[in-house]
Structure formats: C-alpha cells, structure tokens
Chain A
C-alpha cells in the first residue's frame, strides 16, 4: 500500500512506517518505528515528494521498479542513550575525520562483510554499509531536540556517502540562474556568504535553485549538476535586515539561522528539478568586511581546486575521486571563474550583487572584460 503523504493524519496508524523517494533516480527508503521520526524526515525531504509506505504490511513492489540503481535503505531507531563507543565502533576501524562533534571511521572489508563506515555525533550514531546500500542510525532524544541538525547534517552526511557510491557527488555550493538563463555557481566554505549571495540575487529577480548543496553526476560521461532540494537556511540577521524577505515562509530557527521556503519565494521550484549540463560562471566568495564588493578573475585550475575542496568525501574511493574531478573540470571548462570579494555594500543593498555580475557579463560580451 503506497499512499500520498499526509504525515500528520496517517503516520500514527502505521506499525513500522517508511517513506520512499528518489534522489536523481536513486531510490531511497527511510524507515523507523517512531512515527515522529518519519514525519521529521518526510518534512525534510518534502521537495522529493516522499510516499508513505507501511513496511510491515506493504509487500507490493513499486509501480515502476528502479532501473540501474539499487535502493538505499535508511533504518533509524531511537535509543534513550547511545551504547558506549567501543560497542559501536569496531577496534579495527580507523578514524578518518573529525569535525566538531562529528567523527567518521572506516572499517576495511573482510571475508564476512564489505567496507563499512561509522559516524558518531555524541547524540546520534550511524553505520554505513555501501556494499548493501544500507544505513543504520541510532537517534537519542537529545539529537531529536535539534531536529534540523539531525536531518540536515547528521543523517544527510551519512546518506551522501551512500549516494557517492552511486556516482552522485555532493558539492557545497549555491546555484543561481540569471535573467539571461546563465547558471552561476557560488562555491565556498561555510560562512563564506553562499546563502546571503544567493538570496541577494533572488531579490534582484534571479532564481536561486539551492543555497548550499548540489549534486554532480555523469550522464553518458557528460557532467550534470542538479540542486539538492531543501529549505534555505538564512541568517537571522539577513531576515531582520532585508524587509523584502518579510513575506518568505519561515519554518524553524536553529542557532542563528532560520529555515525558509526559498525555492517557493523566488519562484525556482521547477528550476530546481532541472539537471544542468553547463555552468556559465563560478564565483568563489570571500566576505571582506569592507564596503565595496568586487570581482576579479581566477584561473580555472584554482576554481576546480576550490570545487574539489568543497566536495564532501572527495577523497573516498579513487575511481570516484577521478571521475568527480573530471566532472568538476568539465563544468569549469565552460565557466568564467571569479573571486568575489563580498563587501558590506551587499548588506545595505542586496541588489548590488546582481549589478556587479551583470556589469561583468556586459564587459565580457563587449570584449572589455578579462
């Protein structure tokens, strides 16, 4: 039994609820015994139009069986406390990465099982089994109390690792379509201004399709880029400062940010479904704290390096590393690459970003640019 999702009304009726959706043709099922957990993820992935299924009673195959990709299963369980670390992480696993509270280990394949990865975030833990397309998660009430971090960081990271094994590569970048239908990538580290710039361009009539996450993949060897569809996460300071955003639908606040319905507000919901085969401009932003914003050209090789630096798990699995670099290079080949020094003039007038970019495009067309 598949049903159109209406989590508030129906999830409580399910013994073991699950949602099913596809990310770029890769089928994903998220299942849990806790209905509120399913409701939470159904809301987070709502742009992917998840279908609610009853895992215990639904044995009917999907109407259109997936071709080419096996289904990723995300199996979530709630626990009052996480077991001790040594019960979760095998002794042979090697610590790969530590970012704040997030730690990632890798356990090499052996005769019994394939390679496995373990995430531990203090309040939640995940085991990722790429060979089986399986992700098991333990969620504590503490993790649920920061539901946005649980969905958008903890669980998403683990899911992105599995998507990588399907050739879907994460890129930490915003993407905006200009009035001349040119695609601009804004790629940078956290707090480099991606969301603010994408929003500023949206206020100037451009269409932002993502404020911080994209997926890169190959279609018959050609690079394709598509938004990882989710709410925008705007700084509260920007919401307070720019009255033109007053009508934007706000969901919830966390830390200093608010989740907002950016795609709807900027009329970019349909564009966010589009897979782009070409990037026209790559911007690497840097917040300067000085008044005037400016653009200066940067070599394509430096731009590709920045894209690779902002690609999660870029180092993982060399065949994918090589393919991903090749795809990023393909995208950069068609693009004009610039470093954008984002100044305080943008805070005063968000539309000035569009003016700077349009002037540069005019200069380029007239041959006066770089």
Chain B
C-alpha cells in the first residue's frame, strides 16, 4: 500500500508521556502493555501526530527536517522507516485523507532547544505483560487483556 498520501492515525490506547522536554519520552500501549522508549526525534514526531493536525508521512518528514535542520532526503527516509516500525507494532494505522482535511504545515521549527539529531528510535519492552507479585512472578499473559476493566 502506498502510504505517502494517507493520513497517519495514532492508536487510541497509546498513552504518551514526555520525560525530558524534547529529549526523551515513553509510550505505554494500554491494550497489550507494550512499553516503548522514544528518543528526541521519535518524541518530536509523535507529538506532531498527537497535536491532532492531519499528517501524512510527507508532512511529518518535512516537520522533522525543519525542526532538526537536516536535509529533506534523510528526513523522508528516516521518517518512513520509523512509521513502518510503528505500524508493525500496531501503534499507527493509515486512513484516506478526507476532502476537507488539510495537511499540517510543518511551520517554523520549535523555539525550544532540541538536542543534536539522531534518527527517530523506538525501543520496545514486553516486561510489563507479566504481573509482578513480590517482584518475581509468572503469569498467564493471555489473561492480561482481561485486566482492563473494573475499579
């Protein structure tokens, strides 16, 4: 599927938290309890997506290039690679752009200082799928999905 002209949609159950401003963030997928660490560029891209502006891969890579001052070709290839990874993890999906929807303008780079550029990175941990009783427990991981409701 050619995703270049599609709208990127983030997963509703993905809970994003910034830990160090513009440097480090985490995502917890509340559906499967996958935990992701994000570096500065990944955090920047996710915040762009979260800002509810309509984004395609192209508009995202343009925003990345503008923010970090990297060339358009590098930004495009690294944004595409990162989006592919997100899609594999189920953190994003693609949808057709509506007639009325306008692409987000990458605008001017953020005035906040950004760290030196490194390609967007997403690091996955599955360790939270195991319920901890006194720090060392085995669990029927299939049961974890049943734990979302209640009190």
List the interface of chain A (C-beta within 8 A of B): 94-99, 102, 104, 106, 108-109, 114-115, 130-131, 153, 157, 164-165, 172, 188-190, 299-302, 304-305, 308-318, 320-322, 325-326, 329, 332-333
Contacts and interface: CB of A to CB of B under 8 A. Distances in A.
Contacts of B123: 301
Contacts of A130: 150-151
Interface in B34-82: 35, 37-38
Main secondary structure of the interface of A (DSSP, over half): mixed
B37 A318 contact: no
B150 A312 contact: no
11 contacts: A94-B143, A99-B138, A164-B151, A189-B135, A301-B24, A309-B132, A312-B132, A313-B132, A316-B150, A318-B148, A318-B149
Interface in B95-145: 123, 125, 127-129, 131-140, 143-144
B147 A315 contact: yes
Contacts of A310: 132, 135
B28 A325 contact: yes
Contacts of B132: 172, 309-314
A333 B20 contact: yes
Contacts of A299: 24, 37
Main secondary structure of the interface of B (DSSP, over half): mixed
Nearest to A328: B17
A215 B66 CA distance: 44
Contacts of B30: 318, 321-322
Contacts of B125: 305
A332 B19 contact: yes
A332 B129 CA distance: 21
A23 to B, nearest CB: 17
Count chain A CB atoms within 10 A of each CB in B26, B30, B144 and give the residue with the most: B26
Given A305-B35, A321-B28, A314 B136 contact: no
B151 A94 contact: no
A314 B128 contact: yes
Nearest to B23: A300
Given A96-B140, A108-B146, A130-B150, A329 B134 contact: no
A115 B135 contact: no
B46 to A, nearest CB: 13
